[in-house]
């Protein structure tokens, strides 16, 4: 092998290594798969939901191939840092703490929190003292519960939202503090028939966005451009209508 | 990547709180498991087939299924039945703490029973025969010969089982308990520093393991002290006194 050839190979190699996630090839996107209706696994074992539809629409707009993978919630940000994938579209809220470790695009929907309790019970959101309230660990709801109600109520944190619903049904919990939109979906389902929202929604200025690594600013910009495009051309509206009868942007 | 020692220092007291709960779970379930294992093992070495069948089925089930599934069945499964929710057991079963202790105790009892059975069967025949020749009744023989000897023989394997339970106790975090692992995961959910916090938790687990190892060395010596006397100074035999 000539010296020149070695140099070109090395340069090519370096190019493949340093190229950010973009460059026309494929992007790996992580979602959780346990947060209906935003991301869930269908009976056929495929990822589906609002997040997944948005991800596909964005990829189509950006004209890149995307691979969507499922990743447990606890490890979803560490996995991004470890380059297991290039972006997270998993209903991830923008927070100060998260912004220190990842970069966020513009928001693609907004959320508020709500308390869910049994229709038959006498749970009063104005008298929370001594109640047992559950939430999913590592979520805004969980942190809100610990920070604002931690000294009043007994806080229980669950690995998945489903486990929290199970304990609400079993009567171990007086209420769940949850993101309002997925809870709306659960209340519509058969299991959720005996439960309802109690009290006012808690507005927490919760914007949901796509997370990428801090260095991948090019990827972030192309997501933003694609997001703007699907908001303008009606694609977003169509996906929204598929899941909620009201706009969630 | 940056390494943040402050995170460990800042959250260390909470990790210790979690470690305390872990210790409680392991010690309580370990003790309850041992108490449950003794009758199981004694039934297991019986000569009556129907008496042998009960512990066999129990051990087969608890050894053959993952601890994670057992703890889920007890915690989330039991609460799906109205009968259980209306029974006197519910005040206990609604607490994740007791669900964890019950599951761990039943799980570890299956393993301890097998260890104890092996130990009982490896007691030299002559010792049992000697006890019989002295006219000891079965309960007396059990109390003075069989169980003390079996405990001496099983101590190393039992210590091993307790350490396995220590690590298995991390599953308590899946039913909302803030044991060492649960606490670590809750801290990580805020700080996003899994390596630092898990390293600290790992070190605490190691220290607890070390304590358990030393405890069992001591117990082993104590139960087998009759075998060590030739190495000690025979001061009691000194004719000068």
Q: Are strands A195-212 and A87-93 parallel, antiparallel or unpaired?
A: antiparallel
Is B79's Cβ below 8 Å from some Cβ in A?
Answer: yes
The strands making up A39-41's β-sheet, listed across from edge to edge, are A34-35, A39-41, A47-48
Could you give the CA distance from residue B128 to residue B148 in angstroms, rounded to a whole number? Answer: 12
- Asked whether the beta carbons of residue B191 and residue A75 sit closer than 8 angstroms, the reply is no
**Residue among B76, B85, B94 minimizing CB distance to A163:** B76
Q: How confident is the model at residue B241 (pLDDT cuts 50, 70, 90)?
A: very low
Q: Are strands A87-93 and A26-31 parallel, antiparallel or unpaired?
A: parallel
Could you give the CA distance from residue A66 to residue A21 in angstroms, rounded to a whole number? Answer: 11
pLDDT at B70: 96
Spatial CA neighbour of B97 closest among B163, B186, B182: B182
Whether residue A150 contacts residue A188, with contact meaning beta carbons closer than 8 Å, is answered with: no
Could you give the CA distance from residue A180 to residue A197 in angstroms, rounded to a whole number? Answer: 9
- Asked whether the beta carbons of residue A74 and residue B189 sit closer than 8 angstroms, the reply is yes
Is B3's Cβ below 8 Å from some Cβ in A?
Answer: no
- Asked whether the beta carbons of residue A171 and residue B85 sit closer than 8 angstroms, the reply is yes
Could you give the CA distance from residue B113 to residue B42 in angstroms, rounded to a whole number? Answer: 8
Is A119's Cβ below 8 Å from some Cβ in B?
Answer: no
Q: Which residues contact B203 (CB under 8 A, 6 or more apart)?
A: none
Chain A nearest C-alpha distance from B217 (Å): 38
Count A/B contacts: CB-CB distance under 8 Å.
51
- Asked whether the beta carbons of residue A74 and residue B85 sit closer than 8 angstroms, the reply is no
Chain B nearest C-alpha distance from A137 (Å): 7
pLDDT at A10: 56
pLDDT tens-place values along chain A, 249 residues long: 455 555 555 555 554 444 444 445 789 999 999 988 899 999 999 999 999 999 999 999 999 999 999 999 989 999 999 999 999 999 999 988 899 999 999 999 988 899 999 998 888 888 889 999 999 998 889 999 999 998 999 999 999 999 999 999 999 999 999 988 888 889 988 889 999 999 888 888 889 999 999 999 999 999 999 999 999 999 999 999 999 877 888
User: Does ipTM exceed 0.90?
Assistant: no
What DSSP string describes B41-89?
A: HHHHT-S-HHHHHHHHHHHHHHHHS-HHHHHHIIIIIGGG-HHHHHSTT
Q: Which residues contact A213 (CB under 8 A, 6 or more apart)?
A: A80, A81, A83, A86, A102, A103
Rounded to 5°, the CA angle B90-B92-B94 comes to 60
Chain A nearest C-alpha distance from B210 (Å): 29
Q: What is the tens place of the pLDDT at every residue in B203-232?
A: 999 999 999 999 999 999 988 887 766 655
Give me the residue label for tokens 């809100």. A144
Chain B nearest C-alpha distance from A92 (Å): 13
Chain B nearest C-alpha distance from A74 (Å): 7
Give me the residue label for tokens 């890149």. A64
Whether residue A202 contacts residue A114, with contact meaning beta carbons closer than 8 Å, is answered with: yes
**Residue among A101, A166, A171 minimizing CB distance to B76:** A166
Domain boundaries, chain B: 5-225
Is B84's Cβ below 8 Å from some Cβ in A?
Answer: no
In CATH, what number does B5-225 get?
A: 1.10.3720.10
Q: What is the tens place of the pLDDT at every residue in B19-44?
A: 999 999 999 999 999 999 999 999 99
* B8 three-state secondary structure: helix
Substitution target from B190, B196, B197 for chain A, most A beta carbons within 10 A? B190
- Asked whether the beta carbons of residue A170 and residue B186 sit closer than 8 angstroms, the reply is no
Chain B nearest C-alpha distance from A44 (Å): 24
**Residue among A138, A166, A172 minimizing CB distance to B189:** A138
- Asked whether the beta carbons of residue A143 and residue B191 sit closer than 8 angstroms, the reply is no
φ/ψ (deg, to 5) at A107: -75, 150
Is A159's Cβ below 8 Å from some Cβ in B?
Answer: yes
Q: Are strands A103-118 and A34-35 parallel, antiparallel or unpaired?
A: unpaired
Is B186's Cβ below 8 Å from some Cβ in A?
Answer: yes
Q: What is the tens place of the pLDDT at every residue in B34-86?
A: 999 999 999 999 989 999 999 999 999 999 999 999 999 999 999 888 888 88
Is B174's Cβ below 8 Å from some Cβ in A?
Answer: yes
Given a cut of 70, whether residue B185 has pLDDT beyond it is yes
Chain A nearest C-alpha distance from B94 (Å): 6
Is B81's Cβ below 8 Å from some Cβ in A?
Answer: no
Spatial CA neighbour of B169 closest among B8, B24, B16: B24
pLDDT at B35: 96
- Asked whether the beta carbons of residue B192 and residue A78 sit closer than 8 angstroms, the reply is yes
Is A98's Cβ below 8 Å from some Cβ in B?
Answer: yes
Enclosing H/E stretch for B196: helix B194-223
Q: What is the tens place of the pLDDT at every residue in B83-106?
A: 888 888 999 999 999 999 999 999
pLDDT at A1: 47
Residues of B in contact with A134 (CB under 8 A): 176
Could you give the CA distance from residue B128 to residue B154 in angstroms, rounded to a whole number? Answer: 17
Whether residue B35 contacts residue B42, with contact meaning beta carbons closer than 8 Å, is answered with: no
Higher pLDDT, B163 or A181: B163
Q: Could you tell me how many helices (H) and strands (E) chain B has, helices first?
A: 11, 0
The token duo for A169 is 């049904």
pLDDT at B239: 54
Domains belonging to chain A, first-starting first, are: 25-110+206-243 (3.40.190.10), 112-205 (3.40.190.10)
């Amino acid at each position: 092998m000539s010296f020149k050839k070695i140099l070109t190979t090395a340069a090519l190699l370096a190019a493949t290594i340093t190229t950010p996630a973009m460059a026309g090839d494929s992007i790996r996107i992580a979602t959780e798969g346990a947060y209906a209706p935003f991301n869930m696994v269908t009976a056929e074992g495929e990822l589906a939901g609002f997040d997944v539809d948005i991800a596909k629409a964005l990829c189509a707009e950006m004209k890149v191939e995307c691979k969507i993978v499922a990743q447990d919630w606890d490890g979803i940000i560490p996995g991004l840092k470890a380059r297991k994938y290039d972006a997270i579209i998993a209903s991830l809220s923008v927070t100060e703490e998260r912004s220190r470790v990842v970069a966020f695009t513009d928001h693609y929907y907004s959320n508020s929190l709500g308390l869910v309790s049994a229709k038959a019970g006498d749970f009063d959101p104005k008298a929370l003292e001594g109640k047992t309230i559950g939430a999913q660990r590592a979520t805004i709801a969980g942190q809100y519960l610990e920070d604002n109600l931690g000294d009043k109520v007994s806080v229980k944190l669950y690995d998945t939202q489903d486990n929290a619903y199970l304990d609400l049904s079993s009567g171990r919990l007086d209420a769940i503090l949850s993101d309002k939109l997925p809870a709306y979906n659960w209340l519509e389902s058969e299991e959720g028939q005996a439960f309802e929202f109690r009290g006012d929604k808690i507005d927490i200025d919760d914007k949901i966005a796509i997370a990428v690594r801090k260095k991948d600013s090019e990827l972030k910009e192309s997501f933003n451009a694609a997001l703007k495009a699907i908001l303008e051309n009606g694609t977003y509206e169509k996906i929204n209508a598929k899941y909620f009868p009201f706009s969630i942007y | 990547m940056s390494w943040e020692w402050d995170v460990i220092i800042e959250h260390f007291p909470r990790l210790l709180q979690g470690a305390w709960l872990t210790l409680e779970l392991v010690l309580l379930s370990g003790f309850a498991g041992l108490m449950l294992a003794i009758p199981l093992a004694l039934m297991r070495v019986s000569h009556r087939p129907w008496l042998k069948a009960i512990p066999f089925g129990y051990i087969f089930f608890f050894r053959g299924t993952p601890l994670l599934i057992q703890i889920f069945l007890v915690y989330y499964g039991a609460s799906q039945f109205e009968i259980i929710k209306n029974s006197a057991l519910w005040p206990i079963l609604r607490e994740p703490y007791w669900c964890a202790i019950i599951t761990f105790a039943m799980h570890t009892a299956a393993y301890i029973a097998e260890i104890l059975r092996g130990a009982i069967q490896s007691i030299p025949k002559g010792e049992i025969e000697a006890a019989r020749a002295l006219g000891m009744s079965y309960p007396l023989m059990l109390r003075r010969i069989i169980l003390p000897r079996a405990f001496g023989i099983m101590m190393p394997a039992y210590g091993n089982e307790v350490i396995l339970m220590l690590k298995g106790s991390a599953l308590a975090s899946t039913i909302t308990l803030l044991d060492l692992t649960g606490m670590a995961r809750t801290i990580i959910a805020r700080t996003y520093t899994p390596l630092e916090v898990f390293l600290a938790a790992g070190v605490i687990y190691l220290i607890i393991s070390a304590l358990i190892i030393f405890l069992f060395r001591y117990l082993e010596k104590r139960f087998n002290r009759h075998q060590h006397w030739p190495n000690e100074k025979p001061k009691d035999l000194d004719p000068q006194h």
